[in-house]
Amino acid sequence: MNAGTRFRHFAGIDWSGAVGERQKGIRVALCAAGHAAPTLVRPDHVWSRADVLGWLLDGLPPETLVGLDLGIALPFFDCGAYFPEWRDTPPDARALWALVDHVCADDPHLSASSFVDHPDAARHLRRHGGRTGDLFPPGRGRWRIAEYAQAALGLHPVSNLNLVGAAQVGKSSLTGMRMLHQLGGRLPVWPVDADPGHGSLLVEIYTSLAAREAGARAGRSKLREIASLNQALATFDSAPVAGSGAIDDHASDALLSAAWLRIAARRQALWHPETLTTEVARIEGWTFGAP
């Protein structure tokens, strides 16, 4: 069976790294194979990160491709390490997830404040209040190989070591790494884990990639009207969602991502990016959909 053709369900998750237990920025959407409209999972529920972890472990429909909007690893190959000059810098993505979860063991709600403030980690981070670590390079910061592939598509990735600004995904990535570690291997994470060829699979996504493919202009990737969302869904051969009027962009990101995964999963080239080697997969991971 070709990669991506076995999936019967597709989930898009808009994640949040914000402080606190429940986050209005977390939304989960699901669609089945075919053309039916994606729907929000528990649409009236304010999700916690622990809720999402529980759903992935116990509530996921069979054969689901899950897209999670965050960075599953940090830059490594530009410097030969995630954290140069830190003795405990880990060797690969799974060890990185374990380190973040260990440092943050006492942080509630899968938050990552302890890692952000860890003296060795903080040297590599751009934090709020003008606190930029001495090993965070000037300008845009460090990128993974996947971020360079995103930029080649005309997207505007932000370093996962940057925790400042509306476009940052650093806090989401760190909290997401705690969840990935706590999945305990029960849900494979591509491409850190090889696709086993059966069951469900989790991939990193970039919601702007789906929006751009649906025709959104640069800088206009957030869809805040149901009419605009349905116009985008139509480009993915999806039935429209019900209703009219406004929709929050976290919900529209999740819904559009689920529908995009349904068509993108069948594109064999997306499972074999040009610069994705076995070593890159194990250490830096990848963004599904980047060439």
Mean pLDDT, the chain, as a whole number? 95
* Chain segment 134-173, per-residue pLDDT in tens: 999 998 999 999 999 999 999 999 999 999 988 889 999 9
The predicted pLDDT at position 4 comes to 81
Pairing type for strands 27-32 and 39-40 reads antiparallel
Peptide bond between residue 191 and the one before it cis (omega within 30 degrees of 0): yes
Look at residue 2 and tell me whether its pLDDT is greater than 80. no
For residues 137 and 146, what is the distance between their CA atoms, to the nearest angstrom? 19
Which one-letter DSSP state was computed for residue 134?
T
> Would you call 65 helix, strand, or coil by DSSP?
strand
For residues 138 and 97, what is the distance between their CA atoms, to the nearest angstrom? 26
State how far Cα 180 lies from the chain centre: 11
For residues 96 and 98, what is the distance between their CA atoms, to the nearest angstrom? 5
Q: What is the mean pLDDT of residues 71-78?
A: 98
For residues 153 and 131, what is the distance between their CA atoms, to the nearest angstrom? 31
Q: At what angle do helices 226-235 and 249-264 cross, to 10 degrees?
A: 10
The predicted pLDDT at position 96 comes to 98
Contact 130, 256 (CB under 8 A): no
* Chain segment 175-185, per-residue pLDDT in tens: 999 999 999 99
Across-strand partners of 191? none
The predicted pLDDT at position 106 comes to 97
* Chain segment 210-260, per-residue pLDDT in tens: 999 998 765 566 788 999 999 999 999 999 999 999 999 999 999 999 999
Across-strand partners of 158? none
Contact 116, 174 (CB under 8 A): yes
Tokens representing 8 are: 């019967």
> Would you call 127 helix, strand, or coil by DSSP?
strand
Domains of the chain, by residue range, sit at: 9-72+183-271
Task: Find the length of the chain.
Answer: 291
